Chains A and B, each alone.
Chain A
């Protein structure tokens, strides 16, 4: 089960309102490579993982991603607080504003709502871990792109933290593949699906 801790993993304090930037950052809330998809991907893949080290890693990274979802939501919230009328109408933000006001809605920067079609639970541990490694790279690239697009130091401070977490998670998923391989037949690691046949 989950218990809420009333704090953020890392401080988010955005001094300057910037709705246009909020409309970009929202992609890491509900976009194809965002934190919502990350947490649901890992927390859902846990059930078909046959070994304790894989169950544990997916639980722990999936839980951390929920904390990152909250941090991204916080960035979007603080970038859109006390909006002036001009800011509500501003180019780049009005299409979001008409549907969601200053609420935080899981969608991509393009406006596409979050979709489970952006993630996968294949029920095969090697396949799922390969997806997870790719997912961490895609999220890292998205944060790289945000750092190219944003010149707000308060936002970038948080984005740099989140980006580095993707690097570390990639490393751990890669190590998890090695741990899994050590459990399989080394002459043919694809002989069967360890989630079904062991």
Chain B
């Protein structure tokens, strides 16, 4: 039970102990370029390591990020140079898709980097834009979620087009 006891000891010391392992980890500054991650200087054997993305990474705008499939230039690793360059239009649909994508991407980042305050601020600023984005979307296309289906005095949830219909997807140019 020696190892188990050691774990319990560390646990009772709380987060402070977890942040101070025998090798300094994670680094507090950005020791590598933005497209590089960091690895612990000392690490247990026989387990996979992916370089950890550093705090406060560079970001694309939401409109560029959504067509590239990532908000982070450092993670933008296309196949055989095949990249999307045509940005989405300014329709309420595309605005919402870009904003929502930025929130999804930053949400996953924050799941593994919950203490990155600058990423949290960015997440918050996109969230504030979402309320306006949803209002503009629903004024143009109808309800985004079923509970918003009675705003016009009729049940307009069923109205075509549905998302998989060709007609629902404006061209990227608008």
B-side contacts of A183, CB under 8 Å: 18
Which of the residues B48, B88, B104 comes within 8 Å of A174, measured between beta carbons? B48
Interface size of A in residues (CB-CB distance below 8 Å): 65
By beta carbon, the residue of chain A nearest B8 is A198
What is the total of A-B residue contacts with beta carbons within 8 Å?
Answer: 175
A56 vs B107: C-alpha distance when bound (angstroms): 10
CB distance B84 to A160 under 8 Å? yes
A106 vs B16: C-alpha distance when bound (angstroms): 48
CB distance B53 to A175 under 8 Å? yes
Nearest CB of chain B from residue A160's CB, rounded to whole Å: 6
Mask of A1-34 contacts with B, CB within 8 angstroms, 1/0: 0011111111111100000000000000000000
Interface size of B in residues (CB-CB distance below 8 Å): 66
CB distance A160 to B48 under 8 Å? no
CB distance A10 to B78 under 8 Å? no
A-side contacts of B142, CB under 8 Å: 6
Interface residue B75 (Cβ < 8 Å from any Cβ of A): yes
CB distance A57 to B166 under 8 Å? no
- Residue among A9, A133, A144, A156 with the highest chain B CB neighbour number at 10 A: A9
Nearest CB of chain A from residue B42's CB, rounded to whole Å: 8
B-side contacts of A165, CB under 8 Å: 69-70
CB distance A185 to B3 under 8 Å? yes
Nearest CB of chain B from residue A111's CB, rounded to whole Å: 23
By beta carbon, the residue of chain B nearest A164 is B69
**Given A13-B166, A13-B171, A181-B44, also A7-B144 (CB < 8 A):** yes
Which of the residues B44, B52, B144 comes within 8 Å of A175, measured between beta carbons? B52
Which of the residues A9, A168, A173, A189 comes within 8 Å of B47, measured between beta carbons? A189
CB distance A172 to B44 under 8 Å? no
**Given A9-B101, A175-B112, A176-B112, also A168-B144 (CB < 8 A):** no
CB distance B166 to A14 under 8 Å? yes
Interface residue A167 (Cβ < 8 Å from any Cβ of B): yes
A-side contacts of B46, CB under 8 Å: 190
CB distance A10 to B66 under 8 Å? yes
CB distance B48 to A53 under 8 Å? no
CB distance A172 to B112 under 8 Å? yes
Interface residue A147 (Cβ < 8 Å from any Cβ of B): yes
**Given A4-B146, A10-B66, A60-B108, also A181-B170 (CB < 8 A):** no
- Counting from the closest, the 3 A-B pairs by CB-CB distance are A174-B50, A164-B69, A175-B112
Task: Report which B residues bind A (CB closer than 8 A).
Answer: 3-4, 6-7, 18, 21-22, 25, 40, 43-44, 46-53, 66-70, 72, 75-80, 82-84, 88, 93-94, 96-97, 100-101, 104-105, 107-109, 111-114, 137, 142-146, 157, 162-164, 166, 168-172
A-B contact pairs, 19 of them (CB 8 A): A4-B145, A6-B157, A8-B164, A11-B172, A60-B104, A60-B107, A74-B163, A130-B48, A143-B79, A147-B79, A167-B69, A168-B70, A171-B75, A173-B50, A175-B53, A185-B3, A186-B44, A190-B46, A192-B4
